[in-house]
Amino acid sequence: MHPRFHTAFAGLAENLQSALAPILADTHFPALLTAAQVATLKEATGLDEDALAFALLPLAAACARADLSHFNVGAIARGISGTWYFGGNMEFLGATMQQTVHAEQSAISHAWLRGEKGLSAITVNYTPCGHCRQFMNELNSGLELRINLPGRAPHTLRDYLPDAFGPKDLEIKTLLMDEQHHGFTPTGDALAQAAVNAANASHSPYSQSPSGVALECRDGRIFTGSYAENAAFNPTLPPLQGALNLLSLNGYDYPDIQRAILAEKADAPLIQWDATAATLRALGCDRFDRILLA
């Protein structure tokens, strides 16, 4: 088991611990539970889905990398496929606050980057901030997304974001988690191809500036992040953040990163290169390249 889970795991009910032990055994547990694993945990604990998600939240919060605040937020996004995706907030020392990933963004982008086509619910250990409510309003689940918070009755995003501003106000019809492909041909080695494929899947309807990042770990594992824009612009998740989030959720650390590639359009109105390079450097990675998509 990855050491980050030790304390949270010890605090779980005994029947949940026994059922989870084999799932968490791998230090690179992918921080998600398949529908079959969720069924096993429900059976072992007698909990319904909402109660089980609350019981698992301390493990999601243990995935946080809150190196500045030490305030660990945890979220679990439930995909329509039945898979559950953990998320934790990420803060990057030596970078800017704007590079922060919120736990809700972490869980949601985790689901999206793993190919999930939509979300049914999200469970969070704190009330989602305004930025996260806005980030959620970009999803194809719209205002019907269920939000479960400790000590409160379940509500929908509609309740938490009244009089919402969103993609519709900018006449955008393709939503986050809708299938997208921007048509760039992957070339080069596996890492380069992964970066182009990530750019192909990006959600960039406001700027038409698709981009993707691929990170290679020293053991050969590759993690990719696709750019996810937001109607209100600022809650946008940059492609590096998506990739770092997956890497961290899978039990890897920044020193494990050996090489990074950003793929973006040469003539795009928005450019990721400088911000990506600055954050990578702050994390101690100085082997990175850029592919210019045409």
Ligand X SMILES: O=c1ccn([C@H]2C[C@H](O)[C@@H](CO)O2)c(=O)[nH]1
Q: Is 132 in the site for Zn ion (CB under 5 A)?
A: yes
Q: Is 129 in the site for Zn ion (CB under 5 A)?
A: yes
Q: Is 103 in the site for ligand X (CB under 6 A)?
A: yes
Binding partner selected for residue 222 from ligand X, Zn ion, none, CB under the kind-specific 5 to 8 Å limit: none
Q: Is 149 in the site for ligand X (CB under 6 A)?
A: no
Q: Which of 45, 89, 245, 248 binds ligand X (CB under 6 A)?
A: 89
Give the C-alpha separation, 273 to 266, whole Å.
Answer: 10
Beta-bridge partner residues of 226: 212
Q: Which of 61, 132, 145, 194 binds ligand X (CB under 6 A)?
A: 132
Annotated catalytic residue 104: yes
Q: 89: annotated binding-site residue?
A: yes
Q: Which residues within the stretch 154-183 sit at the binding site for ligand X (CB under 6 A)?
A: none
Q: How far is the CB of 127 from ligand X (least distance, A)?
A: 7
Set 104, 116, 138, 264: catalytic member: 104
Q: Is 119 in the site for Zn ion (CB under 5 A)?
A: no
Which residues here bind ligand X, judged by CB under 6 A?
66, 69, 71, 73, 89, 91, 100, 102-104, 128-129, 132
Report, as residue numbers or ranges, the catalytic residues: 104
